[in-house]
Amino acid sequence: MNHTVEPAWFCLRSQVRHEAGAAARLRLEGIEVFLPRIRFKRATVRGPVWVTEALFPGYLFARFDWVASQRLVRHAPGVSTIVSFGPHVPSVPAEVIAALRTTIGAQELHEISHEMIPGDAVQISGGVLHGLSAVVTQVLPARERVRVLLEFLGQQTSVEVEASAVVAQAQPRRGIL
């Protein structure tokens, strides 16, 4: 008996840091893929740098006909496995994918720009104070600087630093979902 199965969304586990490669290979095979990513500032010794990562590290979503394409998807370069719970392979409701797409945007990329306000927990990036945690006490927009309160040598000290030299301490994925 020949019957068609409606394509459904499935969650795939990718090889470590190979989400984009797996997505590209699946797209070449004609599989619809959704790989939500975020772009944010990360502190480095050289100062803050913009990085782009998968919203769900190690995972991506693909929409395909299970019967016709599951072998192709399972063995695509960069794909580790199709997420399952024992013998059960759950599909992801289309409404969930639609909601994620609405939140992330058409480019599958959500940029997290952090406008600092007094009270924000930050980390100083680059320079002699690199890696120190601080709290913003004042934003000085005309000078593109912020005044922060940090603990240094057992004392709380107020210092001014370039606004571009601080990054938010909060987890970048936390506010999206």
Partners of residue 63 on adjacent β-strands = 9, 32
* Burial (Cβ within 10 Å: 0-12, 13-18, ≥19) of residue 71: exposed
Torsion angle (degrees, nearest 10) of CA 40, 42, 47, 51: -60
Rounded to two decimals, what is the model's pTM? 0.74
Residue whose tokens read 């984009």:
20
What confidence tens digit (pLDDT) does each residue in 81-104 have? Answer: 999 999 999 999 999 999 999 989
What confidence tens digit (pLDDT) does each residue in 17-40 have? Answer: 999 999 999 999 999 999 999 988
